[in-house]
Amino acid sequence: MIGAVMASDACCTRAGWTEYLACWGAVELHVSVAPGADLDGDVRAFCHDDQKMINISGWMAEWMTLDGGFL
């Protein structure tokens, strides 16, 4: 999976990435993804909890905006 690599929360904000909660049952990750990312595919994301880039199988997650709305 090729894409930008972010090093911090600030990098994501400056790059215009969108913040979401990626949810699997009782597990939630606070992540940022690049604008226009396909959330139903393989998603390269910055994990705000661990401060590192991760890969997410988007079709397995429920995506929630930070204001509580599900996509």
| Mean pLDDT value of segment 21-42 | 94
- pLDDT confidence of residue 4: 80
Q: Model pTM?
A: 0.87
First to last CA, the chain: 23
- pLDDT confidence of residue 50: 95
Confidence check: pLDDT of 64 > 80: yes
Angstrom distance (rounded) from CA 49 to CA 1: 21
- CA dihedral over 56, 9, 3, 5, signed as positive or negative: negative
Question: What would you report as the CA-atom Rg of the chain, rounded to the nearest whole angstrom?
Answer: 11
Structure tokens at 5: 């690599």
- pLDDT confidence of residue 68: 74
Share the mean pLDDT of the chain.
91
- pLDDT confidence of residue 2: 54
